[in-house]
Structure 1
Amino acid sequence: MRYLLVPILCVLISACASDGEVLEPAELIEFRASATVDNIWKTETGTARAKGAEFFSPHIDESAVYTAGYKGLVKRTDRIKGKEVWSRELDFTLISGVSGDQSRIYLNSFEGHLLALSKESGELLWQQKFSSEALAPPAAALDRVVLRTNDGFIIALRAEDGEELWRYQIQVPVLTLHGYASPLIVPGGVLCGLDDGSLLALTLDEGKVIWQTQLSRAEGRSEVERLVDLDGQIVIDQQFIYAVNYQGRVAQIEPQQGNIVWSRPLSSVKGVAVDDSMVFVVEPDAYLWALDKRTGASMWKLEKLEGRYLTRPLAFMDYVLVGDLEGYLHVLSKFDGSTVARFQIDNSAILTAPQVLDETVYVQSSGGVVRALDIGKLVRE
């Protein structure tokens, strides 16, 4: 029997110290603003989170923003004007979404359905039912849709009609953290973080193993001490893959054979963000680290947001953006972590990372509020 665990439950509610003590959210302190955050538009999709539901984030393309909530409301909003293009109420309770490709968006239901909707009209194009639900949105690219199910399968489908092409079974430890990141489709392959602390690369066409790299191995006497899940979002740039696991390590990995270029001890369930020179990681206690991208050396560490249950960071221009459990978006200097701006999306938690396209930032709260924001430097007269 497999048991799901959110380590010291508060990881989904606030944050915990390394010894399991619940951390009170740090009070927000005053700061001298050097950037501005302006609301461009706002929409709502209904509550994005229910008891047992996973987290929702928008899918964004050049023309529209696609959003969903667990009760089944799905919307397409004009990306520039913020006007609703269409909305649809599905007869499904949703658990995760939204992802998409050029013509379709994809959502997962509590009952184990993968749903494909037309971007143009919102019409339900096809659905597939699996033996277990998928706790993260599927990856969609190169005419493939790849998802990981909760009972330990990585499954690839043809995007056009949902036909299953292959499946790969993974070994799942007895005790694991609740949740995992979406697979990542790359040219010729798909990357997936596993519960044993390893990163797996499969061929996209057939699901055959290319390589498997261990970030760290389970240590300790208790099952909780031995948790090393690689649940955070994996990132790839023009040269390397970046990944981090719980109670483990953050690493830079070359993509051809999966060799680790550098790694250092660090723990995260959120994943990483990168820009041209730095890697950003949020620890479970909400400490934010900035690392040198070439070596992994520490550049700075931010502790003043301790206990605020930060999202995975977004690296944007000269800033690092994180959301927190009270609905605040924190805009930080990427050079030293100082606060340069702050904006409250609403009074519910932000649980998924901010996104950016064409210098507009998009954020969805667990209350279902979605905002498009303009962030710029403050010019003082």
Structure 2
Amino acid sequence: MFIKSFRPFAQSLRAPAAIILVATLAGCSTFSGFFGGSAKKPQPAELQPVVALVPARQVWSARIGEVTFPLQGNISGETLVVASNDGTVAALDTRTGRDRWRTSIGAPIAAGVGSDGKVAAVVTRANEVVALDNGREIWRQKLAAQAFTSPFVAGGRVFVLAADRSVNAFDGQTGKKLWAQQRPSEPLVLRQGGVMLAVGDTLVVGLAGRLTGLNPLNGSIRWEAPIASPRGVNDVERLVDLVGHVGRNGNTVCARAFQANIGCVDAQRGALLWTKPANAAQGVDSDERYVFGAEADGRVLALRRADGEPVWSTDLLRYRSLTSPLVVGRSIAIGDSAGLIHLLSREDGSPLNRLTTDGTSIAASPLLAGSTLIAVTRAGGVYGFAPE
């Protein structure tokens, strides 16, 4: 049965912020950014030497094409699936970085990659969902709107969250459209990946400022929990979107609403546990005690998962355009615009190590496959690091 195979797993990570808004419906205006004028951009914090208290070394590297869309790499077992602008989709062995398969879908990619270890799915800039089975295209279907969130593949189905606030479900093998859930759309949305994951037999999706639990069999709404509500007097001020990635521990899902709040929800009951004001565009991660995130100015912080109260914060990485964090052992790993992966202590935010890539921005939240930490850069470098 579908419900038995629709098992939960943690969704990995999100891309660095794209403060770009796009219209999704006919007649809507396009907004290209929040920040204008000639204000001088703050300079990134100067990095101090760091003692490698958590030793790690690069064990492999690979290359794909340039990555400027909101990439979400996907790890299933010992396979990493990644994609690049030019339509390349590649499955790499997480132990060696070698190709398991590599193909081109023949069209530029706008969102991806989702995979259940067999079927991988991406969305093209022409609004087509493309599904691959071990690197072989098996179907493609047209969407009614753009999509910036990686498809979610589970239970023999491919789920797609589009920018018009619709969720679409397709049969994983045939591409047949099974159902669609449409929520009221708004004039502006983020050109950035959103939230979609499974918790038990519920598909949990970020729709505007709400986490919403859907029945994956028919798309019916089981519950809604507000992380943030629209505010302000114009479309820009009223923009509310949940951004990936999220922190997941058991039934608790913690998420960020763009430049508004961080909040946690009991995804079994659909109950909001708490929200706290926070100002950033990147997602969060969590462990059994804390929720970790990076604010818009690069301040990295930890909140208590039980109630959202602050535990610690650090300014060591201010204005370094940080990714979403990833919990790794006793560290959190977070990428920056200089191609560095910073390992910070989960206990107090102190630096534990700093790993280098190719000098271009880290394109997505770091990933973890077993004990291998993986980073993908905007230039298309894929790097595997392992403890010494």
TM-score (norm: length of structure 2): 0.87
Per-residue CA distance 1:200-230 (angstroms, 9 max, x = gap): 2111111111111222222233433333322
CA distance in 1, matches of 2:320, 2:186: 29
**Secondary structure in structure 1 of the residue aligned to 2:244:** coil
| CA RMSD, Structure 1 to Structure 2 (Å) | 2.0
Aligned to 2:127: 112
Please say if residues 39 and 372 of structure 1, whose CA atoms lie closer than 8 Å, have aligned partners that are also in contact.
yes
Residue of 74, 80, 83 corresponding to 2:95: 80
Asked if structure 2 preserves the Cα contact closer than 8 Å seen for 1:139 and 1:182, the reply is: no
Please report how far the alpha carbon of residue 6 of structure 1 lies from its aligned counterpart in structure 2 after TM superposition.
Answer: 6.1
The residue identity in structure 2 corresponding to 1:145 is V
Aligned to 2:252: 240
| 1:234 partner SS | strand
Q: Find 2:76's aligned residue among 47, 50, 61.
A: 61
Q: Cα 1:223–1:131, aligned 2, differ >3 Å: closer, same or farther? A: closer
8 Å CA contact 1:232–1:269 kept in 2: the answer is: no
C-alpha change, 1:83 and 1:215, in structure 2 (3 Å) is closer
Report the Cα distance in structure 1 between the residues aligned to 2:314 and 2:231, rounded to whole angstroms: 28
Partner of 1:364: 376
Q: Displacement, 1:262?
A: 2.2
Partners in 2 of 1:172 and 1:331 — Cα distance? 39
Go from structure 1 to structure 2 and tell me whether the alpha carbon gap of 1:155 and 1:4 turns closer, same or farther (over 3 Å shift): farther
Tell me, in whole angstroms, the C-alpha distance in 1 between the residues paired with 2:281 and 2:287: 20
Aligned to 1:100: 115
Indicate whether 1:8 and 2:20 are aligned. Answer: no
Change (3 A) 1:37 1:112: same
1:1-381 matches, within 5 Å, as 1-3=27-29, 5=31, 7-8=33-34, 22-49=41-68, 54-119=69-134, 122-195=135-208, 197-375=209-387
Distance 1:57 1:88 in 2: 18
What amino acid maps onto 2:65 in structure 1? G
Structure 2 CA distance, aligned partners of 1:29 and 1:4? 41
Give the Cα separation in 2 of the matches to 1:3 and 1:172: 13
Secondary structure of 2:55's match? strand
Bigger Cα displacement from structure 2, 26-35 vs 160-169: 26-35
Deviation per residue, 1:38-97 (Å, 9 max, x gap): 111100011112xxxx22243222232222211012222222222223322221111122
Change (3 A) 1:5 1:234: farther
Structure 1 unpaired stretches of 5+? 11-19, 377-381
Q: Distance in 2 between matches of 1:236 and 1:340?
A: 24
C-alpha displacement of 1:369: 0.4
CA distance 1:3–1:355, change in 2 (3 Å): farther
Deviation at 1:328, TM superposition (A): 0.6
* Contact 2:332-2:343 at 8 Å conserved across structures: yes
Change (3 A) 1:193 1:23: farther
TM-score, structure 1 normalization: 0.88
Match of 1:15 in 2: none
1:126 is matched by which residue type in structure 2?
W
Aligned-residue offset at 1:187:
2.5
Calculate percent identity across the aligned residue pairs: 26
What per-residue deviation string (whole Å, max 9, x for no partner) do you get for residues 168-204 of structure 1?
1122222333223142123222111123x22221111
Q: 1:133 to 1:225 in 2, by over 3 A?
A: closer
Could you tell me whether the CA contact under 8 Å between 2:195 and 2:242 is conserved in 1? no
**CA distance 1:336–1:136, shift in 2 (3 Å):** same
Q: Number of matched residues?
A: 360
CA separation of 1:46 and 1:105: change in aligned 2, threshold 3 A? same
Output the CA distance in 2 between the equivalents of 1:288 and 1:349: 18
